[in-house]
Amino acid sequence: MKALYLLPIYSNSRALVNLLPNYLTILHLLSLYTMFILAGKLLLWMLCFIFIHSNYPTTSLAQPDFVYYFCENAANYTVNSKYQSNLNNALPALPTTNRGLGFYKLSLGNGNDTVNTVALCRGDVNSDVCDSCVNDSIVKLPQLCPNQKAAIGYYDYCFLTYSNEIILNNPRISFVYLSNHQNATDSERFNSALAPLLRQLRGYAAAAAPLAKFASGNVTGPGFTTIYVIMQCIPDLSEQQCMDCLEDIINRMAQYYNGKVGGRVLLPMCNFRYETYKFFNGSTAQVVSPPSSPPILQSSPSVPQQTPPPGMYYIFFICNILKKQIGLI
């Protein structure tokens, strides 16, 4: 009985042995098919990744236009030069140098290859708006000035500048003014209302905390027009240096803005702007009317709302804007 039982097993085993080459062939084909499928999926995944990556909207494609920018053509750098390497390293590192309230400063390199960078956010914007503005500037400005060693770009909420020379102690300072085409109906009364506010805010900005040299306010002009003003100095300036910088640009009012209902002066060291509509964040605004009222400072501002001014244009100047040099980078 036992031998009879083993015989069919032996017979089936012989049959299996005979079929084994066919099974191996089938398994080999299945293995090749599986590898082909996996390779195809991998290739498809890589192609999809490349397509998505190449078409993904990176920050470099989404930067808004500057209010104004300038590329200094006096000195250029060559591709793959040490200066370009320092610039490419300095700009991405600049946001990590926030010294508080949106002030950034970094120098990198030695000698002629030194890159000095400075960025400053407007004093009434929150940290998210500030970070976004500075990051936009870091991407946008080198694109617009691809070979220049020095450049500056101004947004409404921040500015960025870099140079192979000192930035804040350069006797040849570039400044920009923008003026509204529209004239006030009563230029004399308009100027009379604006002038005391400018003087008052100059003192407030200069005397503010070291990292917050910013002041804003408003005053009633002719025909119940409200005039809004902001002023700001870069935090590295002393109180007197800030006063001198703002005084110098305020004194240019008669030359550039006589009777205009809006305008601004943009400098790396200081700036001011005035309009007949509210363009800054009210939570930090110092409402000044009459000029004897003290400044009111508040924290945690929200994103300011702006209405684009009609008919703005700019004229660019290069001049010796400061009577006193400032011993900074």
Query: What domains are defined for the chain?
Result: 59-167 (3.30.430.20), 174-319 (3.30.430.20)
Note the pLDDT of residue 242.
94
From CA 167, how far away is CA 150, in angstroms rounded? 9
- pLDDT of 282 reads 64
Average pLDDT, whole number, for the chain? 76
Closest alpha carbon to 73 in 159, 137, 152: 152
Evaluate if residue 47 carries a pLDDT over 50. Answer: no
Can you spell out the DSSP letters for 193-223?
HHHHHHHHHHHHHHHS-TT--EEEEEEE-GG
From residue 126, give the alpha-carbon distance in Å to each of 8, 161, 277, 280, 300.
87, 21, 21, 12, 7
- Side-chain half-sphere exposure of 119, counting CA atoms within 13 A: 32
Give every strand in the sheet of 115-121, ordered side by side: 68-76, 148-154, 158-163, 115-121, 103-108
pLDDT digits (tens, 9 = 90+) for 112-125: 999 999 999 999 99
Read off the pLDDT band of 258 (50, 70, 90).
confident
* pLDDT tens per residue, range 29-45: 556 555 655 555 554 44
The distance between the two most distant Cα atoms of the chain, rounded to a whole number of Å, is 129
- Let me know: does 138 contact 91? Beta carbons within 8 Å: yes
Q: Which residue has the higher pLDDT, 329 or 112?
A: 112
Query: Does residue 129 contact residue 165 with C-beta atoms inside 8 Å?
Result: no
Query: pLDDT tens for residues 67-121?
Result: 999 998 888 999 999 999 999 999 999 999 987 789 999 999 999 999 999 999 9
Q: DSSP labels for 129-159? A: HHHHHHHHHHHHHHHHSSSEEEEEEE-SSEE
pLDDT recorded at residue 172: 62
**Tens-place pLDDT, residues 164-210:** 998 876 656 677 889 888 999 999 999 999 999 999 999 999 998 87
Structure tokens given for 269: 């060291």
For 300-316, the pLDDT digits (tens) are 334 444 444 444 444 44
Cis check for the bond before 304: say yes or no (omega within 30 of 0).
no
